[in-house]
Amino acid sequence: MVIYDFVASEKFGFARVPIFGVMDKTGKVIFDSRGETEVETTTYYDEQTKKEYPKSSTYVFHDDDATVKFNVTWTDIIEVRDMYGATADQVHYGMAGEQQRKAYDAMGIKPAYMRYYANGTLTMTNSEGTVEESGDMIYEFNYPGVPDPRAHLG
C-alpha cells in the first residue's frame, strides 16, 4: 500500500492531491485512486514546531467498482526534523541557523518532517466481497509549509 496526500500552497488554491494504491504480494496493482478522497483527521499540536500534525486519519477512496477505507493512527514518534526551528535540542529541533531561516522566510516556508510508528487498517470492498488487513507501519509526514487553516489539514 502506498499513500501520498499532498496539499498545495496558496498559489495553487490549497489543492489536495491524494494518490493511493494497493498492490498484492506479487506487486500487481489491485487498486489505484488519484481522484476525490474523503478524509477525516484528528490532529495534535507540536509545541516545538508550532504546527498541527495528524494523529489519526481515515481515508475513503473509490476506484471503479471498489472502495477502500484506510485508517492510520500513530503510536510513537520516531523522528522529528525541524529544518526551520531554533532551539537548543539540535537532535530533534532547530536545524537551521539564522541565515537559513531568512532564506526560508523569503520563500514563505517553515519545513518540518515527522516519522512515526503507526497502526494501519485497510478495508477493501468490491464485487467479490470485503477484505481487511491491519498491522504496524512507518508513517511519515512532510510539512514544508507555514500553518494555514485554509490548507485543510484536519
Taking only the tens place, the pLDDT of each residue in 4-30 is 888 888 889 988 888 899 999 999 999
Percent of the chain beyond pLDDT 90? 47
Please tell me the predicted confidence (pLDDT) of residue 130.
97
On the 0-12 / 13-18 / 19+ scale of CB atoms within 10 A, 26 is exposed
Quote the cell numbers at residue 32: 489505484
The pLDDT of residue 93 is above 70? no
Q: Could you tell me the pTM of the whole model?
A: 0.84
133: pLDDT confidence band, cut at 50, 70 and 90?
A: very high
Q: What torsion do the CA atoms of 128, 32, 14, 77 make, to the nearest 10 degrees?
A: 90
Q: What value does the mean pLDDT take over residues 66-81? A: 93
- With b for 16 or more beta-carbon neighbours within 10 A and e for fewer, the 118-131 pattern comes to bebebebeeeeeee
